[in-house]
Every structure is written in structure tokens, then in C-alpha cells.
Amino acid sequence: MNAGMTVSRKALILADSTLAAAPDARWLVPQWWKGQGAVEAELGGRGVALKLSTPVGPAVLRRYHRGGWMAPLLGDRYLRLGADRSRGFREFRLLLRLVELKLPVPRPLAASFEPAGGFYRAGLLTRFIPETRALADVADELSGADWRRLAGVLRRFFRAGLVHPDLNAHNLLLDASGQWHVLDFDRASLSAGPVSAGPMIRRLERSLRKRAGTDWQAGFESELRALE
């Protein structure tokens, strides 16, 4: 898988150059897909996230949007420090590296850097992973084998050097075959060697505790606690 960059009047586009159809700036614009009648579903998340029917197959378009106290002030704008330091380009390249490491993440298709004065806006297009449910929705019904597989997958990421500051119960997906996938690598990074999993596992535990139910705790304690 190779990445190439294209330039349009309003954006720089970083895209998978092996795709049968080449993404352009319109592919990162939700309104364009709505005009094509290609939006299949609106997905959760802070920004705009859409499941799309595209010429290269089902995909998810996510627009970056600020959270916290900055959201009312800047919304979807970020300080412009160059395309290579933008949210979309950084996440695209991190996902590309994780795919190369054969880790279970969505394949990146395209990312945009859209200058706007001293700021920029950005979007990311990734391959849609079918027939999945989030850990937040299935935690109370998981078997011991499910928890062991999740622990094994997370261990692979941590050994590869992944630091995921927003590892939570909505960013872990279980597919119909029983395999786990990890999502949402905005602000994540890859270190040169294995990393301490403690802060990430505790972040995941806090997100699970916000849910109703307690049946997940035994599996978490027996399998994921050891990752700390």
C-alpha cells in the first residue's frame, strides 16, 4: 500500500495510490456524498461521521472537530502548522504503518488538509469494517475467550509501541468472526519500542464503568488487568 498526494484549489489530499478510483477533495466533504445519495448511515462521534457507499467500497468519513471548552470557539478549525502536522495526515500515516504491521485497524483511504487563513480543517476516510459491535455494547455478554482475544490484540499494539490516549469502550469493535479491531487514532502515536499499557487500560476501565451493568468486570480483571 502506497500513499500519494494531490493538490486541489482548496485542499491537499493524501490518499492510497493503489485504489481503483482515485479520491479527490470532494471525497472528504460530507455534503458531496449526501448529494450523491451515497450516505448509508450517520455514526456516533464528536464530529461528523458517515458510513458511505463509495466507488472503492463501504467507507467511513470522519470530520475532525474539537471537544471541550475549545469547541464553541473554534469548532472544526485547528492552528495551521503545515500539512504534515495536521490531524488527518498524521492519523492517515499512523494507520498506514499499523496496517503494515498487520494490526487490526481500519485501512486508511484518504485524508485532507484544508487551509483557512491561519487555521485548517481536516477529514479522514477509512475502510468500513462490517458486522461489528462496540465493546461498550457487548461487554456484559463476552465469554472468557472473547476477553482473552481482546487482551491478545491489545498486547500486540502495546508491544508495537502504540500510545492511544483515547482507548475506550467505543473504540474497540468485535466483528462477526470474533476478531477485535481498534479505532480512532487521532492524537495517537507510535514509539520505537514497547510502551506501558497502564494509563490506557485504566482509561478503558473508566469508560466501561460509565456503562450500566457489572458482568464485564470479571473478564476485565482476569484478562486485561494483567496488561497494566
Q: Which of 166, 175, 184, 186 is catalytic?
A: 166
Q: How far apart are CA 44 and CA 49, in angstroms?
A: 7
Task: Provide CB contacts within 8 A for 70, sequence distance 6+.
Answer: none
Specify the residue for cell string 496488561.
227
- The H-or-E segment that residue 12 falls in is strand 12-16
Q: What nine digits make up the cell of 91?
A: 492519523
Q: Give 221's DSSP letter.
A: I
HSE-CB for 206 with a 13 A CA cutoff: 9
Instruction: Tell me whether residue 166 is one of the annotated catalytic residues.
Output: yes
Specify the residue for cell string 477485535.
180
Active site residues: 166
